[in-house]
């Protein structure tokens, strides 16, 4: 159910994207009860002029290695679960692609369960 | 008012995109009272490494033909309307581009009416 | 905190994007209390077949110069603030890139404060 959008500065190899995808997905499985098979992600490469970030915000320094992650998911996760998710995503990304921990920006967009169809035109989560 | 984002594996011809756009739009007009002239959609092609989907989730098989559709729209549609929308999108896509019904993933993101401006810097829907 | 997605018909020069980015950001700083250093934006160029807009909606005419802006931000802005934001974005864009005022479509997606991490895996806004 999560739909994950990842934005990167262009030039990252395929193997990098695959590791990023796996890290984000595994973190969601471990911390917020996302089913292991529920993996849907799209990556977009942006040119330098179309990838704009603050070099420093809240005393956090960002570089061209920034990974911008926007996750659309069901409502219902607690603040503690969200905190655990953020931490785990960064830990796994540091491990898999050696990103600077500062260079991971994450945003969650929450929607009700009936707002998904995974195929066949059926709202599989609607009760 | 709906803003529709469609994500596809790269390589689909222009005619395919046009049919997909029309099918999604017509389904919204028919089932959730979207005005016929209210058509705004952006398509993004993703490379193989940046288009990640579960080959099977909830016993639904997905292939490279997967069409990922994210629609931002006003709140206020009932669950029944959403179900009708999902079904109609898939029916029209099967008709127009012969997609496998399993290969249509839809997500809705709802916002309040005052969150739109369609030009001139005015919130046309705000009351 | 705002994450800004800008969609354009392909072909705009880098200088155009930079001016658009600055105009949107400055408008947010001036009207809705976005911190000056809180600037995160991604631009996507769309081919003609993947950039679909209604030539006229609500008596507003749109052209290929359309700038589609989707801003994810914290909840809490009043309707008046949103109206001021829309107006200021358009005013600044007219000034900086001479866009037709009709050709600016804006959508806001609001999320709770705990839905952001700006680095280090920490939810900096969560209280």
Write down the pLDDT at residue B127: 78
Q: Do B57 and A44 touch (CB under 8 A)?
A: no
The residues with which B69 forms a beta bridge, in sequence order, are B6, B106
Half-sphere exposure of C39 (CA within 13 A, CB side): 19
The ipTM, to two decimals, is 0.97
**What pTM was computed for the model?**
0.98
CA torsion sign, B102 to B61 to B42 to C119? positive
d(CA C17, CA C97): 9
* Inter-residue contact B67 to B104 (CB < 8 Å): yes
* pLDDT of the residue at A116: 98
Name the residue in chain C with its Cα closest to that of A93.
C121
Q: How close B72 comes to chain C (CA, Å)?
A: 8
| pLDDT recorded at residue C68 | 98
Q: How many CB pairs under 8 A join A and C?
A: 111
pLDDT digits (tens, 9 = 90+) for A11-34: 999 999 999 999 999 999 999 999
- Chain B and chain C share a number of CB contacts under 8 A equal to 109
**Best of C42, C46, C109 to disrupt the A interface by mutation (most A CBs within 10 Å)?**
C42
Which pLDDT score is estimated for B1? 80
Looking at the predicted structure, is the pLDDT value of residue A72 above 90? yes
Q: In angstroms, what separates the C-alpha of A109 from chain C's closest C-alpha?
A: 6
Candidates B18, B115, B119; nearest CB to C107: B115
pLDDT value at position C127? 78
Cβ–Cβ gap B54/A43 under 8 Å? no
> Which member of A37, A42, A121 has the closest CB to residue B57?
A37
Which of C47, C51, C79 faces B114 most closely, judged by CB atoms?
Answer: C79
> Scanning the structure block, which residue is given the tokens 């249509």?
B104
Chain C positions touching B38 (Cβ under 8 A) are 54, 57
- Whether C101 is a known active-site residue: answer no
SS3 B21: helix
- Cβ-nearest to C109 among B72, B120, B123: B72
Output DSSP code: residue C75: S
State mean pLDDT over C55-81: 97
- Condensed to tens digits (0 to 9), the pLDDT of residues B66-97 reads 999 999 999 999 999 999 999 999 999 999 99
Establish how many alpha carbons lie within 13 A of residue C125's alpha carbon, considering only the half-sphere containing its beta carbon. Answer: 20
Q: Which residues of C touch A107 (CB under 8 A)?
A: 3, 72, 111, 115-117
């Amino acid at each position: 159910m999560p739909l994950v959008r990842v934005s990167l500065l262009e030039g990252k190899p395929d193997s990098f994207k695959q590791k990023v995808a796996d890290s984000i997905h595994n973190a969601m499985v471990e911390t917020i009860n996302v089913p292991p098979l529920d993996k849907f992600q799209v990556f977009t490469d942006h040119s330098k002029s179309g990838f704009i970030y603050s070099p420093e915000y809240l005393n956090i320094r960002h570089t061209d290695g920034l990974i911008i992650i926007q996750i659309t998911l069901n409502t219902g996760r607690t603040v503690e679960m969200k905190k655990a998710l953020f931490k785990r995503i960064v830990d796994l990304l540091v491990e898999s692609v050696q990103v600077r921990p500062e260079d991971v920006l994450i945003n969650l967009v929450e929607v009700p369960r009936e707002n998904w169809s995974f195929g066949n035109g059926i709202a599989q989560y609607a009760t």
